[in-house]
Amino acid sequence: MEILKCLHVKARGEVYPCSEIRRFLVPDDKVDWEVPWTNYNPVDYTAPALLKQPPWADPPYRDEGELNKLLKFNQLDGDVDRRSYTGKYQVINGFPRNPCGRTGLKGRGLLGRWGPNHAADPIVTRWKKEGGKRVTHNCSGKPVLQFVAICRRDNKEWAIPGGMVDPGEKVSATLRREFGEETLDSLSLPEAERQKVKELISSLFQAGEMVYKGYVDDPRNTDNAWMETVAMNFHDETGDSVGKLNLQAGDDAGAVKWMDIEEQQKLYASHTHFLHQVAKAKNAHW
Ligand code: RP5
């Protein structure tokens, strides 16, 4: 497993998602907090939805002193895990600081938590087949892997069907829940069928390979709030288990399909990077 020490790019995208807010532009050589930049003046933005205090977001605060007392950074804070997979992060004037550097925007943006926001990404794969035989790629001569991809409703980008870890929830439970909710529409299934799907996912998800654990270059990241994830690969070698499931988009997904894994496929956040790790581990086409 590899920790991404990336130069974040999507976290510096000019227009902040679901808004007309423009980030203060950060060139590559000024991303690192160690590089002095006296004129750095990030835009302050927290999405209006967060100010209505949804249950999945941190509570409001009057000043930074109060924020620091309300939340326990770099620790397990009740049920909320505020520790980062990247190690101990800095807290400057009461605010946690993005471990991958400047983003041109301060505040929480669209993210519910100050500091790390933990997600889990289930990468469900099978070999591409035609007429019962594995398909090999013309260029690499290697077999082609496919993964279950969703088209995100918020930005129409294709992605791994990941989601946020609920407070107190184990990552293994999030992986199953998100896969069920987003790709099998298990929320709308009748009880008996939902049980069957649950059992299938349970058995497939018993043996997974850790692909990645760390920071995600997510377009919603800010100087004070960022995404982190655990990505796990669940592989159906024969194609007889998940291959038979009736994929149906649900919850945050606009569409769902089996997608070939290849370098050219552009995906949400750091998801292309995670799939590259899977292709390498399985000696598949990339
Ligand atoms: C990404 O955001 C993670 O890799 C995960 O796929 C996703 C979780 O956020 P939501 O899909 O719940 O918005 O950074």
| 238-263 tens-digit pLDDT | 887 776 666 666 666 678 888 999 99
Position 186 scores a pLDDT of 55
pLDDT of residue 33: 96
CB of 149 within 6 A of ligand 1: the answer is no
Query: What residues does each domain of the chain span?
Result: 10-117, 118-281
Q: What pLDDT, on a 0 to 100 scale, did the predictor assign at position 5?
A: 58
Please give the backbone phi and psi of residue 199, each rounded to the nearest 5 degrees, phi first: -65, -40
Kindly report the protein residue whose alpha carbon is nearest to atom 8 of ligand 1: 163
CB-side exposure of 84: number of CA atoms within 13 Å? Answer: 24
CA of 120 to the centre of ligand 1 (A): 7
Positions of the chain with pLDDT lower than 50, given as ranges? 1-3
In Å, what is the CA distance from 227 to each residue of 22, 28, 40, 176, 251?
20, 20, 23, 19, 20
Going by C-beta distance under 8 Å and a sequence separation of 6 or more, which residues neighbour residue 135?
127, 128, 129, 143, 144
Pair of tokens at residue 156: 């129409």
Ligand 1 in reach of 163 Cβ (< 6 A): yes
φ and ψ at residue 123, rounded to 5 degrees: -105, 100
- pTM higher than 0.95: no
* DSSP 8-state assignment for residue 22: B
Q: How far is CA 87 from CA 3, 83, 277, 278, in A?
A: 11, 8, 22, 24
Fold classification of 118-281 (topology level): Nucleoside Triphosphate Pyrophosphohydrolase (3.90.79)
CB 55 within 8 A of CB 184: no
Q: How far is the CA of 218 from the centre of ligand 1 (A)?
A: 8
121 CB near ligand 1 (under 6 Å): yes
- Tell me how far the alpha carbon of residue 163 lies from the centroid of ligand 1, in angstroms: 5
- Tell me the CB-side half-sphere exposure of residue 100, using CA atoms within 13 A: 30
Atom of ligand 1 nearest to the CA of 160: 6
Model pLDDT for residues 173-192, shown as the tens digit of each residue: 999 888 887 777 655 667 77
Residue with tokens 């997904």: 253
Residue nearest to atom 9 of ligand 1 (CA): 163
Answer yes or no: are the C-beta atoms of 106 and 222 closer than 8 Å: yes
Count of C-beta atoms within a 10 Å radius of residue 88: 10
Is residue 252 lining ligand 1, measured as CB closer than 6 Å? yes
Planar angle of CA 59, 62, 63, nearest 5 degrees: 110
Question: In degrees rounded to 5, what are phi and psi of residue 12?
Answer: -120, 10
